[in-house]
Amino acid sequence: MLFQVRMDVNIPADMPSDVANDIKAREKAYSQDLQKSGKWRHIWRVVGEYANYSIFDVESNAELHEILTGLPLFPYMKISVTPLCRHPSSVRDSDA
């Protein structure tokens, strides 16, 4: 199942920088492991914002929920999810 996920991050301004840096380092490692596994297929930064659009390829809604709630930055995110399916006019078999 493919999902487009927008993540907007809002780290509190009063969070100590060492705490924020630790959370961001754990977030990077977690997301890169998911990318290497193929579950997190794409990630794009939104220019001028602390936000991204990502494509996830997971087995179920529950698996996506587990992945997203496991993000170290999850408590500081607004997340919106859009389910996707292959477009019949696509010329790429890998879009499934």
Q: Give Cα separations from 86 to 39, 44, 75, 79, 81 (angstroms).
A: 17, 20, 32, 23, 16
Indicate the domain borders of the chain: 2-95
Which two structure tokens, joined as six digits, stand for 43?
């990630």
What pLDDT is stored for residue 21 in this prediction?
98
Query: DSSP assignment of 14-26, as one string?
Result: TS-HHHHHHHHHH
What pLDDT is stored for residue 88 in this prediction?
87
- Rounded to 5°, the CA angle 89-95-61 comes to 120
Stretches where the chain sits below pLDDT 70 are: 95-96
What pLDDT is stored for residue 64 in this prediction?
98
CB-CB contact of 64 with 18 (8 Å): no
Homologous superfamily in CATH for domain 2-95 = Dimeric alpha+beta barrel (3.30.70.1060)
